[in-house]
């Protein structure tokens, strides 16, 4: 019975959500916004489950006396400090302690991790650009063209290889133009093909959920 009610709500809600996008009826828009607000309220309750899970795991690690106790201890202390500060000064973005924690700790730490991406890209590219077979060789040549076209060397080569044929002049090694063609034609074409497949996949999976064929989310 519970499953039947849940599936009924999903069926009605799903069809409503799909059609409200195409039909500009004010009442439907209001209902849609109300449903979105409900989603926010539910996600707040879900956050408590997340906090419980996080703290349980950290406390378990301390109890089990694992090798690096500093990590669970730091997590618990940081969690407690931020909660206390928020309770005293309020959970506003512009409150001084919250702002201090955000700009002094969170932003630099996140920027550090993000900057690691450059090194990871380099090491991944080094592995990918080995001409092991025909496909890898094409990848290597294409990547080389894109790299040269994006650095000052590409512009320099394009300038020194300009030749004049009658009234027209063109560059023999116009790397920047080749890069634009690679990015605008084959790259966009393949990306669109992927997006096209993904979108249809999402639509059909949504239908499966709306009509109760896909029910694993009910568990």
Partner 1 sequence: MLRKINRNYFFLLILILKAQASPQYFWGLFIFIIFLMGFAIFYFLPMKDVKIRELGGINGLEEAIGRSTEMGKPILYVAGLKPIPAVSAIAAMNILNEVAKISARYSTPIISPHNNPVTMLTAKEEIKEGFLQGGNPDLINTSKIFYITDSTFPYAVAVNSLVNETKPGAIFYMGTFYAESLILTEHAQGTGTIQIAGTDSVAQLPFFIVTCDFTLMGEELFASTAYIKKDTTSLKFLFLTDILKAFIILLIIIYNIGHIF
Residues engaged in binding partner 1 (CB under 8 A):
19, 21-27, 39, 43, 46-50, 53-54, 56-57, 60, 71, 109-110, 113-114, 116-117, 120-121, 123-125, 127-128, 191, 194-198, 200-209, 213-214, 216-217, 219
Burial of 177 (0-12, 13-18, 19+ CB in 10 A): middle
Please, which residue, 44 or 163, has the CB nearer to partner 1? 44
| Spatial separation of the C-alpha atoms in residues 75 and 62, rounded to whole Å | 11
Query: How near is the Cβ of 151 to partner 1 at its closest, in Å?
Result: 20
Tell me the closest approach of the beta carbon of residue 89 to partner 1, in angstroms: 21
Torsion sign over Cα 14, 17, 18, 20: positive
Reported as type and span, the H/E element at residue 178 is helix 175-182
Shortest separation between residue 50's beta carbon and partner 1, angstroms: 4
Say how far apart CA 180 and CA 92 lie, in whole Å. 45
Residue with tokens 């996949």: 201
Q: Which two tokens stand for residue 99?
A: 């702002």
CB of 178 to partner 1, least distance (A): 19
Nearest distance from residue 162's CB to partner 1, in Å? 34
Instruction: Rank residues 30 and 156 by Cβ distance to partner 1 and give the closer one.
Output: 30
The tokens describing 157, both together, are: 């080569």
User: Are 131 and 142 contacting, i.e. CB atoms less than 8 angstroms apart?
Assistant: no
Angle in degrees, CA 57, 61, 65, rounded to 5: 170
CB nearer to partner 1: give 22 or 134: 22
- Strand partners of residue 169: 164
Q: Name which of 43 and 161 has its Cβ closer to partner 1.
A: 43
**CB nearer partner 1, residue 91 or residue 162:** 91
Cβ of residue 103: shortest distance to partner 1, in angstroms?
15
């Amino acid at each position: 019975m519970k499953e039947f009610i849940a599936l009924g709500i999903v069926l009605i809600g799903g069809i409503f959500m799909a059609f409200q996008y195409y039909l500009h009826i004010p009442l439907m828009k209001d209902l849609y916004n109300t449903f979105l607000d409900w989603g926010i309220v539910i996600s707040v309750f879900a956050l408590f489950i997340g906090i419980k899970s996080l703290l349980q795991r950290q406390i378990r690690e301390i109890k089990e006396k694992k090798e690096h106790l500093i990590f669970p201890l730091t997590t618990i202390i940081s969690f407690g400090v931020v909660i206390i500060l928020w309770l005293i000064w309020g959970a506003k973005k512009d409150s001084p302690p919250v702002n201090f924690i955000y700009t002094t700790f969170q932003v630099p730490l996140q920027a550090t991790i993000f900057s690691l991406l450059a090194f990871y890209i380099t090491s991944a590219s080094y592995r990918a650009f080995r001409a092991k077979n025909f496909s890898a060789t094409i990848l290597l040549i294409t990547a080389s063209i894109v790299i040269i076209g994006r650095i000052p060397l590409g512009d320099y080569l394009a300038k020194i290889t300009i030749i004049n044929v009658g009234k027209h002049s063109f560059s023999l090694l116009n790397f920047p133009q080749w890069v634009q063609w690679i990015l605008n034609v084959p790259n966009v074409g393949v990306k669109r093909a992927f997006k096209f497949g993904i979108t249809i996949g999402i639509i059909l999976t949504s239908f499966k959920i709306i009509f109760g064929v896909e029910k694993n989310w009910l568990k």
